[in-house]
Structure 1
Amino acid sequence: MTEVPKTLSVERVAGTEWITFQRTDQLNAMSMQMLREMADALEAAIADNAVRAIVLTGSGRAFCAGADLKEVAGAKHVPGEPDLLDLVEHTFGLMRHGPKPVIAAVNGLAMAGGLEMVMACDLVFAAESAQLGDAHSNFGVFPGAGGAAILPRRVGLNRAKFLLFSGENISAQDMMDWGLVNKVVPDAELRDAVQAFTDRLADKSPAVLRRMKKVANRSLNVDETAALAEEMLNLRAHMRSWDMREGLAAFNEKRKPQFRGY
């Protein structure tokens, strides 16, 4: 039996798990196999206490060009088996709701589902040459992982409608000006810039980052009073953690804290 080539590679650098898409000839379009491998890699990274941050990036000239439309067109659903949308929901959910910081290192084109993948990450670094856009309307496809539901929260309703209706790509710099991208760096410096940032994250308390991510994500769906109440509940729980006691002790003793994540 011929072994099916892997669609991505996984590399550990210090406390950072790099997940690199390897469907270069298909502009790293998401196939069902790629989504399964992504989910496996994300679940393994989440379960490994040595991993402090997760980075997603692409090979070649694309980050991700969206779903593999050839596979979508020819798909035959098997009853009882997950389809493409099930796999997208599960995999993107791991990114959105998982306890560890997930960073998109956008090396090139990020379109349609690729843009939605970017929005599922916590932070976005992009190469200067990167282009991002929602291309669903170009092919008569409706978004299903945040294009219409999340994009207006990221860039504002008017800009989101422009991206959705036009299907045009926007430069990484414009996307930073619009609030979707956190930092734009020269193409040759993207990996080093992201690694330097995640190295700094590795010195932070995993427990406090986990709680910050959870409360910040939920704050968009509730009013200010409820958001503040949840923040206070998490603070009270965190005050009993090893990491907070260790952080305060390290401050008083003028040394670097040794966080454990609980």
Structure 2
Amino acid sequence: MCPILFHIENGIAYITLNRPDKLNAFNREMALLLQARLDEAASLHEVRCVYLTGAGKGFCAGQDLAEVADPEGPGMQKILSEHYNPIITRICHMPKPVVAAVNGIAAGAGANMALACDVVVAARSASFIQAFSKIGLIPDSGGTYLLPRLVGWQKASALMMLGEKLPADEAEKIGMLYKVIDDADFAAETKKMAATLAQLPTRALAYIKHALNLSATNHLEAQLQLEDEYQQKAAATNDFKEGVKSFLEKRVPAFKGY
């Protein structure tokens, strides 16, 4: 069974974590294959949105601990430097929007991978847990960077230290994710959201993403200068011309992604 399912449809690259018997916990094969699929999605012009979800009942339970305990396994240093850090970097630098469709439990590295995505949507039955402290570890996969910026210092600290399971509804309330959707409507609604993103001006979305990423460390003047730079780039695209033209002509724009 392939641990990563991948197909492209109507401008959307659908990536499904596919170890359902392990709640889609990562092993080395799965982590390296996900990196390859993210690279493929980034390189193909036909792809204008990435949709990341899990097979079965879970989104991703984090690291498969059997691999960690295996004396012949990759070891913690490789797991971080060759598995998770490259995945988070690829998601954050993907020049297209990435939707995390969290269909079930998102734990440990799985939770933080979801938080690295641009639009995080969860099924009402889903939950998030910073499970690291339960086994004597610290949050990785960008968790210590992402979570406090989303929910604030105190919430992030408590969630990481106590390792309590956070239901999707509560995660939405504290700003960890964009929206919670009833389970029965989850697949249809999240795919509809991805379809909307795939029809928007892709380069403008990429500039928004880059500007938001850099805003975490820029001072105001640097961010204003960055906005100036990216706005000039956005204004030079064909999609900007189409957006203005369609507005003046009172019709729906037909963006092409360039």
Shorter-chain-normalised TM-score: which range? over 0.9
Look up the SS of the partner of 1:149 in the other structure.
helix
Which letter does structure 2 place at the counterpart of 1:158?
A: Q
User: What is the CA distance between 1:28 and its match in structure 2?
Assistant: 0.6
Whether the 8 Å contact between 2:200 and 2:257 is mirrored in structure 1 is no
CA displacement at 1:61 relative to structure 2: 1.7
Residues 1:10 and 1:75: Cα distance change in structure 2 (over 3 Å)? farther
Identify the match of residue 54 of structure 2 among 51, 58, 61.
58
Cα distance 1:75–1:117, how it changes in 2: closer, same or farther (>3 A)? farther
2:6 equivalent to 1:10: yes
Aligned to 2:212: 216
Give the 4+ runs in structure 1 shifted more than 3 A. 75-78
Residue 167 of structure 1 corresponds to 163
How far did residue 77 of structure 1 move? 7.0
Q: What is the SS of the residue equivalent to 1:11? A: strand
Contact kept in structure 2, 1:16 and 1:195, CA below 8 Å = no
Q: Which shifted more, 237-246 or 91-100? A: 237-246
Distance (whole Å) between structure 2 residues aligned to residue 261 and residue 158 of structure 1: 40
Aligned to 2:146: 150
Partner AA of 1:114 in structure 2: G
> CA offset at residue 246 of structure 1?
2.1
Residue 13 to residue 188, structure 1, CA distance change in 2 (3 Å): farther
Distance 2:67 2:133 in 1: 18
Q: Distance in 2 between matches of 1:77 and 1:29?
A: 15
The share of aligned pairs that are identical, in percent, is: 35
Kindly state the Cα deviation for residue 49 of structure 1 after the two structures are TM-superposed. Answer: 1.5
Whether 2:137 is the aligned partner of 1:141: answer yes
Taking structure 2 as the reference length, the TM-score comes to 0.93
Residue of 103, 107, 117 corresponding to 1:107: 103
Rounded Cα–Cα distance in structure 2 between residues aligned with 1:207 and 1:193 = 24
CA distance in 2: counterparts of 1:225 and 1:202, whole angstroms: 32
Q: Which segments of 5 or more consecutive residues in structure 1 lack a partner in the other structure?
A: none
What secondary structure sits across from 1:67 in the alignment?
coil
Q: What is aligned with 1:68?
A: 64
**77, 92, 96: which one aligns with 2:92:** 96
Q: Find the counterpart in structure 1 of residue 79 from structure 2.
A: 84
Distance verdict in 2 for CA 1:225–1:150, change over 3 Å: same
Q: Secondary structure at the match of 1:83?
A: helix
Deviations 1:172-205 (A, max 9, x none): 0000001011110111211111111111112211
What is the TM-score of this pair, normalised by structure 1? 0.92
Counting matched residue pairs gives 256
Distance across 2 between alignment mates of 1:59 and 1:260: 31
3-state SS of the aligned residue for 2:145?
Answer: coil
The whole-number CA distance in structure 2 between the counterparts of 1:148 and 1:74 is: 27
| CA–CA distance in structure 2, aligned partners of residues 107 and 238 of structure 1 | 34
Structure 2: unaligned runs, 5 residues or longer: none
Counterpart of 2:17 (choices 13, 16, 21) is: 21
